[in-house]
């Protein structure tokens, strides 16, 4: 039996909101990851079984390794199908915001949503949510939005409505947001949830193969280039920084999703407790920053202070609008700013 994370009052309020809605639009953040797509498609599956008209709209392209998920081909990409997306938004009587805590995280999709006067429901696990929805379910202590969504279904008495496709989506989101359950996953109840999803008939081994064994050849050649030529190791500060520019991405035939998880790899080196990845966008003049840490180092604080970002304690990110040289200099300054904290970090490896 799972502990109560979603109260009976919250569950009833959300259940009633979903019951009263007929035309629902599900949204998630820019650069959707496994948790974003998994939670969106899980909610889509649940609402379709309830007879609702449901549309999932994402701000931009989501990685190829998530396209195996049931009905992923029905997701609308706003930056490519603006007119159709706006039409569904105009007809909506409920907007559901999944896996993002503030409107800025959906970029250009903010504008058409700002004109929509319907009710809004937020379900998310990121810290410091902005209060932009009619009903909010925010639990930063959850490993993923998919875990929170499963708990919501149970709290609403709707566990039986989780079919195999919904269960696959939830497992995929939990798996990707914990790095295959290697971080932020010490809660024993996570594995009780996995057992519940497996009883729905999912093949977790197949899901993991679909998530992690479908990358392009270019991904691994790009990774080799980064590890050999671009990674800076600061042993004194237990930190690593690496960068990759637009031309390098083109050289290795980069497709979106190819760099997924790269930021975690330096943490496999003995003694390294902080990893910072800087990747130039292939379309706009900006640099995406990803930060991962171990132990008591606050990745989210560093992201907010230096990279216009935020996130979870051990997994955070941000965006900067400058040259790569400037971004690298900022990353090095960040290490120096946390010098005392980083030197004190003790390796358990």
Same structural domain for residues 48 and 189?
Answer: yes
pTM comes to 0.89
Determine the 3-state secondary structure of 318 from DSSP.
strand
Domain count for the chain: 2
Same structural domain for residues 19 and 141?
Answer: yes
Return the axis-axis angle of helices 34-49 and 145-155, rounded to nearest 10°: 20
pLDDT in tens, 144-185: 999 999 999 999 999 999 999 999 999 999 999 998 998 889
Same structural domain for residues 121 and 196?
Answer: yes
Q: Tell me, what CATH number does 244's domain have? A: 3.10.310.30
Given this model, what pLDDT does residue 348 score? Answer: 46
Is the residue at 2 inside a domain? Answer: no
Q: For residues 21 and 87, what is the distance between their CA atoms, to the nearest angstrom?
A: 17
Same structural domain for residues 79 and 110?
Answer: yes
Q: For residues 162 and 170, what is the distance between their CA atoms, to the nearest angstrom?
A: 10
Q: Is residue 24 within 8 Å of 119, Cβ to Cβ?
A: no
CA 94 to chain CA centroid, Å, is: 22
Same structural domain for residues 185 and 265?
Answer: no
Q: Which residues of the chain have pLDDT under 70?
A: 345-349
Is the residue at 120 inside a domain? Answer: yes
Q: Tell me, what CATH number does 165's domain have? A: 3.90.1640.10
Same structural domain for residues 165 and 43?
Answer: yes
Is the residue at 15 inside a domain? Answer: yes
Same structural domain for residues 140 and 37?
Answer: yes
Given this model, what pLDDT does residue 30 score? Answer: 92
Q: Which helix (H) or strand (E) element contains residue 214?
A: none
Q: How far is CA 136 from CA 12, 33, 99, 153, in A?
A: 13, 21, 12, 15
Least Cα distance to 97 among 127, 71, 119, 70 occurs for 119
Same structural domain for residues 228 and 154?
Answer: no
Q: For residues 35 and 174, what is the distance between their CA atoms, to the nearest angstrom?
A: 6
Phi/psi at 318 (5° precision): -170, -175
Which residue, of 196, 212, 228, is where some domain finishes? 212
Residue 319: give the domain boundaries.
Answer: 218-344
Is the residue at 1 inside a domain? Answer: no
Which residue, of 181, 212, 243, is where some domain finishes? 212
Same structural domain for residues 71 and 196?
Answer: yes
Sign for the pseudo-dihedral over CA of 45, 50, 55, 58? negative
Least Cα distance to 253 among 216, 285, 227 occurs for 216
Same structural domain for residues 121 and 266?
Answer: no
Same structural domain for residues 50 and 187?
Answer: yes
In a 13 Å sphere around the CA of 13, the CA atoms on its Cβ side amount to 14
Is the residue at 3 inside a domain? Answer: no
Same structural domain for residues 38 and 172?
Answer: yes
Structure-token pair, residue 172: 């995929």
Is the residue at 38 inside a domain? Answer: yes
Is the residue at 312 inside a domain? Answer: yes
Phi/psi at 233 (5° precision): -110, 125
Which residue, of 212, 238, 261, is where some domain finishes? 212
Pairing of strands 53-58, 94-98: unpaired
The stretches of 61-182 forming alpha helices (DSSP H) are: 82-91, 110-114, 145-155, 164-177
Given this model, what pLDDT does residue 345 score? Answer: 56
Is the residue at 349 inside a domain? Answer: no
- Other beta carbons within 10 Å of 270: 8
């Amino acid at each position: 039996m799972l502990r109560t994370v979603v109260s009976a009052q919250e569950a009833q309020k959300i259940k009633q909101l979903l019951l009263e809605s007929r035309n629902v639009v599900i949204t998630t953040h820019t650069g959707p990851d496994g948790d974003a797509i998994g939670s969106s498609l899980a909610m889509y599956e649940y609402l379709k079984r309830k007879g609702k008209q449901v549309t999932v709209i994402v701000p931009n392209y989501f990685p190829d390794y998530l396209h195996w998920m049931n009905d992923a081909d029905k997701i609308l990409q706003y930056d490519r199908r603006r007119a159709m997306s706006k039409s569904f938004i105009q007809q909506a009587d409920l907007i559901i915001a999944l896996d993002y805590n503030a409107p800025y995280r959906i970029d250009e999709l903010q504008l058409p949503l700002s004109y929509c006067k319907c009710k809004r429901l937020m379900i998310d696990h990121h810290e410091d949510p902005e209060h932009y929805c009619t009903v909010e379910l925010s639990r930063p202590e959850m490993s993923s939005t998919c875990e929170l969504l499963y708990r919501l279904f149970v709290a609403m008495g709707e566990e039986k409505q989780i079919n195999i496709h919904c269960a696959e989506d939830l497992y995929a989101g939990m798996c990707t947001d914990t790095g295959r359950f290697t971080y932020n996953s010490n809660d024993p109840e996570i594995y009780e949830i996995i057992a519940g999803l497996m009883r729905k008939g999912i093949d977790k081994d197949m899901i993991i193969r679909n998530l992690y064994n479908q990358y392009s050849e270019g991904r691994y050649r790009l990774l080799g280039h980064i590890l050999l030529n671009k990674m800076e190791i600061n042993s004194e500060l237990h930190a690593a920084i690496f960068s990759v520019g637009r031309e390098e991405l083109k050289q290795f035939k980069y497709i979106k999703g190819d760099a997924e998880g790269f930021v975690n790899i330096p943490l496999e080196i003995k003694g390294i407790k902080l990893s910072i990845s800087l990747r130039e966008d292939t379309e706009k003049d900006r640099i995406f920053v990803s930060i991962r840490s171990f132990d008591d180092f606050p990745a989210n604080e560093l992201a907010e202070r230096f990279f216009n970002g935020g996130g979870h304690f051990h997994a955070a990110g941000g965006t900067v609008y400058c040259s790569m040289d400037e971004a690298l200099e900022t990353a090095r300054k960040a290490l120096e700013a946390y010098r005392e904290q980083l030197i004190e970090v003790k390796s358990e490896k």
